[in-house]
Each structure stands twice: as C-alpha cells, then as structure tokens.
Amino acid sequence: MADVRLLHITKRFGATLAVDDVSLDVADGSFTTLLGPSGCGKTTTLRMIAGFFAPDAGDIVIGGTRVNDLPPHRRETAMVFQEYALFPHMTVFENVSYGLRMRGVAATEMRRRVHDALELVGLTAVDDKFPSRLSGGQQQRVALARALVVRPQVLLLDEPLSNLDAKLRVRVRTEIRLLQQRLGITAVYVTHDQEEALAVSDRVAVMNRGRLQQVASPLEIYHRPQNRFVADFVGLANFIDAEGTGARRVRAGRHELTVGREVTGPVTLVLRPEAVQLLPQKSPDAVNVLPGRIEAMSFLGTLARYWVDVDGTRWIVDVPSPGDAMLSGEVYLEILPERIHILTERASSQSPQSPQSPQS
C-alpha cells in the first residue's frame, strides 16, 4: 500500500489546458474520489497517475517514489476502466491472471490468487467463459478482479459504474467500498456522479476546468462547499445574495436573516433544500421566517420536494418523511441560522435559482 501525492501537475492537449496545477494528497489506504463534470480533467489526472500520460509539469509521487518517468507497466497501480477493457480474446481466467503472468507468478499460486480474486468480487464458475458471454455486471466484476488480483499499491477506478443500470450501480459501489476497506487498499476513483462520490469516499476532490475546487470529506463538501461551483455541483442548493449587516445579521432583499457567524460585505448564502423547514403557519418563536407560496410539488417517497416562490425567487425545499399530508398554497419557510452556509464570494448578478426545475 502507498499514498499518492500530486505536486502541481499540469497537462495540456494542444491548446487546451486539461489539468491546471493540481496538487492532491491521497492518504495511504484512503478512498479518494475525483469528482467533476465531463471535461474537467479528472480522467486525465487519473491516467497520469496510471502513467498513460506524462504531466507537462509537476510531480507524481507514489509511496514516496517519484514516478513521472516510469511507464505504466512499471507502476504498482491497477485500473478499472469505464468500458472495462476486458481482453475479448481471453477467457475470464486468462483476463484476471494476465497481470500475474506479467509478474511471473507461479502457476499454482496464480490459480489460487485468481480464484480468490473472483470469489472476492462474487463471481464463481465463469473461469472459462469469454467476456462477451457475461452480463454487464459480471464484466464489471471481472474487471475489478483483474485489477485487484495484482495487489496494486493504488487501485484506480475510472467511472467504473457508468455502464451499469441504476440499481446495480448502487449495489456495486457499496461492494467496491466494502472491498476497499477490507483490503485497506489506496483507491482513487473518478466519477461525475456526486451522489456516488458522497456515498463511497473518504475524501472528495471536486474539479472544474482542470482546476481543483475543493478537497474534503463528503460531509464537509456537502455542508461547507468552498465555492459556488462545488455547492452547485454537489447536491441541490438555494443561492441567496445577501449583505452582511453586523451582529450575525444579513440582509437578503426585503428580509433580514440571522446567520451562524459574523459577516460583512456582500455574501452568498447557500441553503440545502433540507435545511429549510416548511410550515403551514408562522411559528411565533422562530428566528428566520420567510413567507412563500408553493408553486409545484414532487413526491419522491422518502421526501417531498417543493418549489416555493419567495418574493419572486424560486426556492427548492425538501420535506423528509412527508407522510400522507401534502402542503399547498401559502406557507412559511423557516431557516435555522447554523444551517446557512456563507460564501464570501458574491456569486453572480443573476437571481438565485434552483438547479432543478419542476416538471410541470
């Protein structure tokens, strides 16, 4: 096992700056996710760790050794590819044992390790099958087994779940996480799915346009995003422009709100939908209460999602365990001061809006 350190790495493809001065520490045995929209440079970063591309500048250090000049086959990394990249002319056994053969592992040990690896990923009796005869989920597991069997110092996963259907995706990601914890292996995981990132990671590194935006635990990323991009990309959020007025008070439009800390100057308030409570009447002892009007509603089982108009801006509010009773018409929004996250950057001139609109 080993840690991975990226020191100011930069990669250009022609005129495009794919990765721009990224520095990242991946602790030994941790599960770190590179999260971002497509084209943000996350896959390029992963491939540089694997050695498929050399960085134009900066260093990659694995287990204390600078590996910039090592070709992929000399690095103790193993990758699970988005399209699995199973060798179609080899059986499952041959696929999984490939890396062991490259390392000159003796036949009996090889057989044992291949079977252990296949068992680990929950596959049995597929040794002699060709990959084309397997289902998508099975192929994915073979790809995982093939990577794990070589006992890499670092396991690299490049959107490994994007070709699976929704239900399987959730199951397999949990399995991958459990395996990683059991084996204590260092893993770097690339995805564009924020929910997936939050669900499996020890740490999440959010990237955009080649730059690292924030590196933190999933909780931190979700609740205390460092900038508007992170807040917007991870989960849903209401953004409200406000002005600090001193004494933990901010002014947002016609309303004054109490927040968790002292702020001055222009700020953006980030409010997760579940951080807002929806009340049929104004409760007398509430601190931050805004009147609003429900415009649309969507029932999602574990929660109900409302789109609420507050002074001409649309808020998105989640109500957990909604039960049978649904709200409608005039309501009051109650916001707990400690759940308001404050960005000191003033996001934009455009009015705050929810990233998702109701289907009308």
Partner 1 sequence: MAGTAQRPRLALRIGDPGLLGAFLVVSGVLLVFVFYPALRVISYPALSEYLAIPQNARWIAALRNSLFMMLLSTATATFVGFVYAYATSREDLPGRRLFQLLSLLPLFAPPFMVAFAYILMFGRQGLITKSLLGLDVNIFGWQGLWLVQTVAFFPYAVLIIGQVLDAINPTLEHAARDLGAGDGTVFRTITLPLARPGVAAAMLLVAITVLADFGNAVLIAGNFPLLATEAWFRIEGLADLSGAAVVVSMLIVPTIALFVLERVWVSRRLYTAITGRGSRVPRPPTPGVFKWPLLAACLVVAFFILVVYVGVLAGAFAKTWGYDWTLTLDHWALALAQGGDHLVNSLKVGAGSALLTSVIALLAAFVTSRRQYGFERVLDFLAVLPAALPGVFIGVGYLLAFNAPPFALGGTAWILILALTFWHVPFGYQAAVAGLKQIDRSIEEAAADLGASGLRVLRDVYLPLLRGPFLASFVTSFIRAVTNLSIVVFLVTPRNLVATYSILSMIGGGFWGAAAALTTALLAITLITVTLARVAIGRGLRGLPTS
CA 355, CA 358: separation in Å to the nearest integer? 10
Pairing of strands 238-246, 264-271: antiparallel
Q: Decide: 132 and 84 in contact? Cβ < 8 Å.
A: no
For residues 192 and 228, which CB has a smaller minimum distance to partner 1 in the complex? Answer: 192
For residues 79 and 205, which CB has a smaller minimum distance to partner 1 in the complex? Answer: 79
**In the complex, minimum distance from the CB of residue 335 to partner 1, in angstroms, rounded to a whole number:** 41
**In the complex, minimum distance from the CB of residue 337 to partner 1, in angstroms, rounded to a whole number:** 45
**In the complex, minimum distance from the CB of residue 25 to partner 1, in angstroms, rounded to a whole number:** 22
For residues 210 and 322, which CB has a smaller minimum distance to partner 1 in the complex? Answer: 210
**In the complex, minimum distance from the CB of residue 91 to partner 1, in angstroms, rounded to a whole number:** 12
**In the complex, minimum distance from the CB of residue 1 to partner 1, in angstroms, rounded to a whole number:** 18
Residue keyed to tokens 């699976």: 164
For residues 99 and 210, which CB has a smaller minimum distance to partner 1 in the complex? Answer: 99
For residues 189 and 222, which CB has a smaller minimum distance to partner 1 in the complex? Answer: 189
**In the complex, minimum distance from the CB of residue 13 to partner 1, in angstroms, rounded to a whole number:** 9
For residues 157 and 335, which CB has a smaller minimum distance to partner 1 in the complex? Answer: 157
Q: Which residues bind partner 1 (CB under 8 A)?
A: 43, 47, 50-52, 71-73, 77-79, 81-89, 98-99, 102-103, 131-132, 136, 139, 146-147, 150, 156, 159, 162-163
